[in-house]
Structure formats: structure tokens, C-alpha cells
Amino acid sequence: MKSSIAIIGAGLGGLMLARVLHVHGIASTIYEAEASANARAQGGMLDIHENNGQLALKSAGLFDRFREIIHPGGQATRVLDRHGRVLYEQCDDGTGGRPEVPRGALRRILLESLPAGTVQWGHKVIAVAAPGDGRHVVTFANGASVTTDLLVGADGAWSKVRPLLSGAKPAYVGTVFVETYLFDCDTRHKTSAQAVGEGAMFALAPGKGIVAHREPGGVLHTYVQLRQAIDSIDQSDPAAALATVAQAFDDWAPALTALITDGQTAPVFRPIHALPDEHKWPRTPGVTLLGDAAHLMIPSGEGANLAMFDGAELASAIAGSPGDMEAALLAYETALFPRSSCEAAAAKKVLDVCLGGGAPQSLVDFFETWQA
């Protein structure tokens, strides 16, 4: 009898798992809480790496489609001090190994590669039960339920599937990101556009930074970074909260602070949480995790890449062990745990390079060593 596979979450990792399973002729169903593919914006730019994200896309047979959505010039990088002086600059000549693509476009490619009906929208998980036979029963807020032979939690930081395997919960790491946007930047925000350049810009100092990316269509997408207590900013009044954030940069170059004060959307506050670096769980029949559900870590450019790689690796393990799902899950998790632990530890180091006492020179040194 064929095994049923239920994937919770239609993010990049869950979609990649379903796609690579489909490539191998294995059916699965994704259950997603959002009402549709267009229920919300899908975030900014992603740099897709040769050693994980790109490998997953090749396994999915989607590498050529991926190349079609690359944002030319997006790999350009510059580091500035608080006065706007350029301390480091790397242009994008098209030969780098981490091309930038819009997250929404990448997700669309994955969605379009799946058979109709693979994603069941409007299915928010409210309960998961394990009857004891290795199968799981998932109940949704819309009244539906499903019993599955394999349950995969691809449902992000606050996974509803994770408690079946682990008591670990994400903890605040002491840093908050504040997200803002400027539009039509080359006409309406020229000085800020010039400061950001063609790709990514890092303006840093100990404990704080302004990081921005130029996105297609003249968009400047900014993440203000602050090391401070999670409740130190009252978010009940977005305008006042943004003014409080801006005060932390009151002696910075106007072209940089305008990325905060001239924001054309309501600021989005993102307190950064992470699971323990060495998060793992005992092999439990019929269930596993991938992506942030498995290894939520500090943002370092690896999250989306790891989620897609997890999905492709899990699918390949399942395809490679026909009739023995437990052997497939054991093989997948045996490789997953050390890989995730290594990347989580590296992400902590990257954050300290960006916001530690040596910033911004520490990031300049990091890039120069990396490029050497």
C-alpha cells in the first residue's frame, strides 16, 4: 500500500520537498494556513548558494527557471560607516556564486511545478495527534482533518509539528530587525539610492546597523538592526516606534537615516529568535521536520537555502528507500543535525561580525578574507 505524505507549510522548503518527490513519481499533499498563494507579500531578495540552494533547484529540475529570475547586479556589496563613507565595495560581474532572486518569484516557480491540488490552501493546523501506530492525525481550523503515514513539519519558527519531537522553543537572541521600504528610489530618494548602490549595503556600528537591498523596480528594502531588549520599543504607535528607532541613528548620514524616516510602508518589527544550535530529536516513527521548524537560526543568508536543501535531501532519501520510510528518515536526520548545528553556530558569528564591537571594520575584514 502506498504511503501518504502530508507536508505542513507551503514555504520554500515544503514546496521543494513536494517538487522533488514529484520528480521521483511520489505524491504528497501540502497543507498551508494562508488562503491563497497571493495572500501576503513574500519578502525580499534571496541569495541562492551553489552548495545548497542551487543543488536543490537542480534536483528539482528547476535550475533553468531559476536562472531566468536572477536580478542582474544584485550580488554587488558595499560596507559603509555611519557617515556614509564606503569602506568596501564588490561589484557584480555575473560570475559570483550567490545570485539574487526575489523570494516571491522563486516561490512561484516551485508552485507552478507541482500538480494541481498539491497545495491545500486555508488549512491552519490547530492540533496534531499521534495514535501510536506511526501515523498522525492533523486537525485544521476549517474543520477538516487528515491521517497520514508521514507528517513533515515545514511550518516555520513556531511549528505546530515540532512539539511531537522536541520540547525546544525559539528564544529571543537580543536583536530586533525593523523592516522599511522606499519606492521609485532613483527619482524620489536619490541620495539613499546612491548610498545603497546596485545590490546590498551594510552601514554598521557596534550594536546597530542599517542594511538595505536594491530590489527590482526601483525598490529599496531596508532592515534596521538593533541589539536591545525585546520590549524596549512600544509598537502600538508605528510612527512613534519608527521615530524611536531613528533616534538611535541621529548622528548618521542623512542618506542612511532616510532609509528609516522616509519609509513608505508601516514598519515591521521582527524580533530575532533562534533554536539551540544543536537542536535535534530522537528518531520518531512517521514524523520529521525541515527548514526553520528544524533549525531556526539567526539570519545569515542561509535560511532559505537550507530549507530548500532539506526538502530536496528528504525527498531523495525517501525515493532512495522504497518501502522503508524509517530508514529514509534516519538517513535524512543523520545528515541534517550536524549540518544545521554548523550553520547555526556560523550564523551567530556573522551577527557578531556585523554588530559586535569591531563593526564596521569587522565586516570589511570578513568580506576581504572571504574574497581572498
pLDDT digits (tens, 9 = 90+) for 333-366: 999 999 999 999 999 999 999 999 999 999 999 9
User: Taking Cα atoms as reference points, which of 209, 214, 212, 190 lies closest to residue 201?
Assistant: 212
pLDDT at 256 over 50: yes
3: pLDDT confidence band, cut at 50, 70 and 90?
low
- The residues of the chain that CATH labels 3.30.9.30 are 171-274
| Global pTM value | 0.96
Cell numbers of 224, please? 534596521
The hierarchical CATH code for the domain 5-71+101-168+275-350 is 3.50.50.60
| Digit-coded pLDDT (tens) for 152-182 | 999 999 999 999 999 999 999 999 999 999 9
Whole-angstrom distance, CA of residue 33 vs CA of residue 161 = 14
- The residues of the chain that CATH labels 3.50.50.60 are 5-71+101-168+275-350
| Range list of β-strands (E), the chain | 5-8, 29-31, 45-47, 77-80, 86-90, 100-102, 119-120, 125-129, 136-140, 145-148, 150-153, 171-182, 200-205, 208-215, 219-227, 268-274, 287-289
The whole-chain average pLDDT of the chain stands at: 95
From residue 349, give the alpha-carbon distance in Å to each of 103, 279, 362.
25, 18, 11
pLDDT at 120 over 70: yes
User: Has domain 171-274 been given CATH number 2.30.40.10?
Assistant: no
pLDDT at 1: 34
